[in-house]
Amino acid sequence: MKTAILDARGRVTPASSKSHIIHRFFLTSAGGRLGIDFSYGPKQLEDLEKARTLIERSIDLYFEEETLAQAKAHFKSYLPLNNLITVSVDSPHGHLGAAHRHDPEQFLHVSRHEASPGLVSGDIVPGMWEVTLSLHAIVTDYCEYSLQIWQEEEEAK
């Protein structure tokens, strides 16, 4: 049996870059497997002039004065610019890891016997859980995300 725990959607903007959105939920029963479906989009900034402006701003911040002109002349080597949102999971007993990857669609899971890469397997316990979305970069005018979490019985091992 699969029990829906959380169904959240949101829209973020570049002002949300370098921030976190925490979704908390309470599990009333122990055991089984926790499933997490996460997606966001758009993934890439398609507007070349906006991309150029963002890249040049970053070059101004991170490059030495003597390399600025050369770096700006080769701004296309930094394309494409992508939105990046990653997912981490905390149980009532502590951090279970982070799925720090670029995929705009992710299916993650945690159970006593296995976990998705980046996450640690462990008992699914009752209590307050957290799934944190880390908004590393939002380069498009907006980015929409969808997060679904459920608990289900785990197949016998």
pLDDT at 48 (0 to 100) = 96
Q: Into which CATH architecture does domain 2-44+82-152 fall?
A: Sandwich (2.60)
Local structure of 111: helix, strand or coil: strand
One-letter amino acid of 140: T
Contact at 8 Å (CB) between 34 and 130? no
In tens, the pLDDT along 114-133 reads 999 999 999 999 999 999 99
Domain boundary assignment for the chain: 2-44+82-152, 48-78
End-to-end CA distance of the chain: 17
In tens, the pLDDT along 95-107 reads 999 999 999 999 9
pLDDT at 153 (0 to 100) = 86
Please tell me the distance from the alpha carbon of residue 100 to that of residue 150, in angstroms, as a whole number: 21
Element (H, E) at 146: strand 143-152
